[in-house]
Amino acid sequence: MTATDYRTRADRARRAIADQTSGPGYFDLFWTGVAGFFTLLALIPLVLVLAYVVFRGFSRLNWAAFTQLPPPPLAPDQGGFANALIGTLIMVGIGALVSVPFGVLAAVYLSEFSQGQVPRWIRFATNVLSGVPSILMGVFIYGLFVITTGTYSAVAGGFALGVLMLPIIVRTTDESLQIVPKQVRWAAIGMGASKFQTVLRVVLPAALPAIATGLTLAVARAAGETAPLLFTALFSQYWLDSLLQPTASLSVLVYNFARVPYEGQQRLAWAAALILVGIVMLTSILSRWATRKQIY
Q: Which fold would CATH assign to domain 80-295?
A: MetI-like fold (1.10.3720)
Q: Is-contact 232 146, C-beta < 8 A?
A: yes
Mean pLDDT of 177-201: 87
Task: Choose the weakest-confidence range: 16-25, 72-81, 188-197.
Answer: 16-25
Choice between 24 and 192, residue whose per-residue pLDDT is larger: 192
| Entry pTM | 0.82
Per-residue pLDDT of 91-146, as tens digits, reads 999 999 999 999 999 999 988 888 878 888 888 888 888 888 899 999 999 999 99
Q: Is-contact 290 215, C-beta < 8 A?
A: no
What pLDDT does 296 receive? Answer: 38
Per-residue pLDDT of 59-100, as tens digits, reads 888 888 899 999 887 776 788 999 999 999 999 999 999 999
3-state secondary structure of 133: coil
Taking the alpha carbons at both ends of the chain, their separation in whole angstroms is 53
DSSP label of 69: P
Report d(CA 79, CA 83) in Å as an integer.
11
90-103 as b/e: b if 16+ CB within 10 A = bbbebbbebbbeeb
Mean pLDDT of the chain: 85
Q: Return the domain boundaries, the chain.
A: 80-295
